[in-house]
Amino acid sequence: MGNLVSRLKGQLRNVPLGLLLCLCAAHCCNDILQAVITALYPILKSDLGMDFAQIGLVTLVYQLAASLLQPVVGYFFDRYPRPYSLWIGMGFTTAGICMLAFVSDFNLLLLTVAFVGVGSSILHPEASRITSVCSGGKRGLAQSVFQVGGNFGSSVGPLLVALIVAPFSRTCVLWFLVVSAVAFAVMRPIVRWFGVYIAQQKSLAARVDLRRPMPLSKGRTIATVVVLMVLIISKYTFMACMTSYYTFFVMDEFGVGVSMSQILLFVFVVSTAAGTLVGGPFGDKYGRKVVIWVSILGAAPFALLLPHVSLWGAVVCSFLAGFMLSSAFPAILLYSQELLPNHLGLVSGLFFGFAFGIGGVASALIGNFADMYGIEAVFRGCTLAPLFGIAAVFLPNLRKC
C-alpha cells in the first residue's frame, strides 16, 4: 500500500491537482443529483399513483436521454468547443431537480427526468475530455480520480434522499440545490482554464495542423471499437447483476437480513471505487491493453466462485471481483481515446453512454429472467460474464499517439 501511495504522489507532480479535484467534485455532485431520480421511485409511485410499467417508462426516458445523447453531445463539442459546456449541463440537471420537487403530472415527470438525463449527457463526455487534456500526460491517473468522484456520488445520492426527503415530503428535494450550487462553484475554475485552453488551441490551429494521426486503419479501428464494446457488455452485465440483485442473492442463499445485505453491497461498492482509482495509474505505467486484459479476465475466477463459497468467502470474492473489474473502465476509455485521438468528446460520450445503456438493459433483462428462473440460477449465469474478457486478446497494441 505504501508503494502505491508513493507512486500516486509521484505521478501527481505533473498534474494540475486543483483542477483535477474540481473535476472529481463536479462529477460527484452530478452523480448525486442523477441518483435522486431512482431513489425517489417509491415516493413518486405513491404521490402520482404510478404502476410499475410507468416506472419502467420513466427509467427508459431517463436512460435514453442520459445514454444515447452522449455521443451526439461529444461530437458536437468536438467540432464546436465551448468553455461553459459544463455549466450548460448542470443547468439542465438543476432545472430537472427543481421540477422533480413539484411535478404532479406523469407526462411532465417524463420531461423532468429527460432534463436530468440531458445534463448527464453533457457533463460526462465534456468533463472526461477536459480531464484528458489537463492530465499532464498522466491520463490514466486523471481519469481514475475523475471517475471515483462519480462512484462516490452515485453511492451517496440514495443515502441523502433517505435522510433528507423520505422522512418529510418530496418538496425537500429542493435541498439538493445546495449540491447544484457546489457543482457550479467547483466548475468555475474548470470553465476558466478550459476557455484559455480553447483559445490557445484555436491560435495554434491557425498556424499548424493539430490533428494527430490515427494509430490504426479505419477498418481495424471499427473492429477494435466492436471488441471494446464486447468488453463493456461483459463488465456491465456483471456489475448490473451485483448492484441490483446481489442483496437478494445473499438473503436467499445465506439467510441474512436486509441490513446485512446492504452492508455486503456496500463492501462491493467500495471495491469498485478502489479498483477505479488504481486502474488508471497502472494503465499509465504498464499500458491500457494489459490492464484491460488482467482486470476483466482476472475478475472471472472470483466471480465464478461467488455462488459456491460461504458467506465470508462471498464477501472476499465480491470485493476482489469488483476491484479487478472496475479497474478496466478507465483503461478502456483511454484506449478508445488513443484509438481516435481527434474525437475525445465523441469517444467519451460513446463509451459512457454505452456503459450506462448496457447497465440499464442488463438490469431489466436479469430481473425478467429472475422472475422466470429464480434469483440463484440467474446470478450463477451472470458470474460467467467476465469470461468474455477473453475478447481482449483481439485488441491490437497501439503506437503512442
Task: Pick the closest to residue 292 from 354, 335, 341, 322 (CA basis).
Answer: 335
Within 13 A of 262's CA, how many CA atoms are on the CB side? Answer: 6
**Rg from Cα positions in the chain:** 21
Burial 14-51, CB ≥16 within 10 A → b, else e: ebbeebbbbbbbbbbbbbbbbbbbbbbeeebeeebebe
What does the pLDDT read at residue 259? 67
Task: Pick the closest to residue 144 from 131, 157, 133 (CA basis).
Answer: 131
For residues 293-300, average pLDDT: 82
pLDDT 10s digits, 304-336: 998 889 999 999 999 999 888 888 877 888 788
What does the pLDDT read at residue 388? 84
pLDDT at 367 over 90: no
For residues 247-270, average pLDDT: 79
What does the pLDDT read at residue 26? 94
Identity of the residue numbered 18: G
Query: How is residue 43 written as a grid cell?
Result: 415516493
What does the pLDDT read at residue 87? 94
Q: Computed from CA positions of residues 173, 175, 179, 180, in that sequence, does the dihedral angle turn out positive or negative?
A: positive
pLDDT 10s digits, 58-116: 877 887 788 778 888 888 888 888 889 999 999 999 999 999 999 988 999 999 999 99
Any idea of the CA torsion for 312, 318, 319, 320, to the nearest 10 degrees? 110
Query: Is the Cβ–Cβ distance between 185 and 29 less than 8 Å?
Result: no
- Distances from the Cα of 401 to the Cα of 15, 137, 211, 212, 346, angstroms: 19, 12, 11, 7, 17
Q: At a CB cut-off of 8 Å and minimum separation 6, what does 305 contact?
A: 313, 317
Highest mean pLDDT of the ranges 56-60, 121-125, 172-176: 172-176
| pTM of this structure | 0.72
pLDDT 10s digits, 157-169: 777 887 888 788 8
pLDDT 10s digits, 380-397: 888 888 888 888 888 887
Query: Is the Cβ–Cβ distance between 244 and 369 less than 8 Å?
Result: no
User: What domains can be seen in the chain, in order of their start residue?
Assistant: 15-210 (1.20.1250.20), 215-401 (1.20.1250.20)
Identity of the residue numbered 328: A
